[in-house]
Structure 1
Amino acid sequence: MTDKPQPEGREGYRAFRAIPTRWMDNDAYGHVNNVVYYSWFDTAVNAHLIEQGALDIHGGETIGLVIETQCNYFAPVEFPQVVEAGLRVARLGTSSVRYEVGLFLQGGASTVAKGHFIHVYVDKATRRPVPLPANLKKVLEALT
């Protein structure tokens, strides 16, 4: 047994989103820069929530604020590859959720990177934590 993070297969993820890399994602070393991975995490989660009708970024009263992020990298990604972001929910609290995201090369069997971020859902005006709205909770439960 090792404590070192290891790549994972697709079977542990509940929803997937294809995300094409862009020319500008590559850094001076010829691979996608690490900060882009966090953008992919955010894109995958929020696009899923919007498409499922659980997040209204323009008129909703509840918004998610990121309070923690982390990522482990296993293999490089470079333009013009397409990544597929696998989503799951690892922990669902009263007002928070821990999303886990696995990034795969298109059609690949194991993660090239995986990580997590935690959203705390707050009132849009007061920025104080609020219980997860029922429709959001239902969508999140489907990702567990």
Structure 2
Amino acid sequence: MKFNLCSFWLDPAFYLAAGVFALALILLVFSIRKYLEIKNKSDFEEPAGEAAEVQDELPLASAEAVKPAHDEAPAPLPAAAAAALHPDSPSRAEEFVKGLYQNMASLDARLKNIEAVFSKAKVNRDFTVTFLEDMVADFDALDKEKIKARIEYLVEDLKKG
């Protein structure tokens, strides 16, 4: 069999295969980049328990007890420094962000419930249609008792859904 290089470039299957190969190569590169980002990110994060233990060991609490030697009035602290000294009271922005996250979590849970209900109803409807189509196709081969049993099963399934 002779292979002509000119006909190779004219074949649309070649371009289809080249496109699929390029798409697969791009997806491979992006998936490797994403994997490396996830892998590198998780190496530097501390679990919450360790961070709390390290925070307790820091000497910042004892540094607050030391008073300055001079009697001058201290300069007013900026808002960021004041918030850093009192980490127990969350700022309004932190409370707002926490509220947003809680609302998004509840919204996500509600959407999942709605999607589950719709998908279940769709499955029952599809099942009912295919069940009835099969029954119509085999109608001549079925006897009266089998038809009655299938209809009863279908009615029970529809009552459940």
Normalised by the length of structure 1, the TM-score is 0.19
Q: State the structure with bigger RCO (CA 8 A, min sep 6), 1 or 2.
A: 1
Higher strand residue share: 1
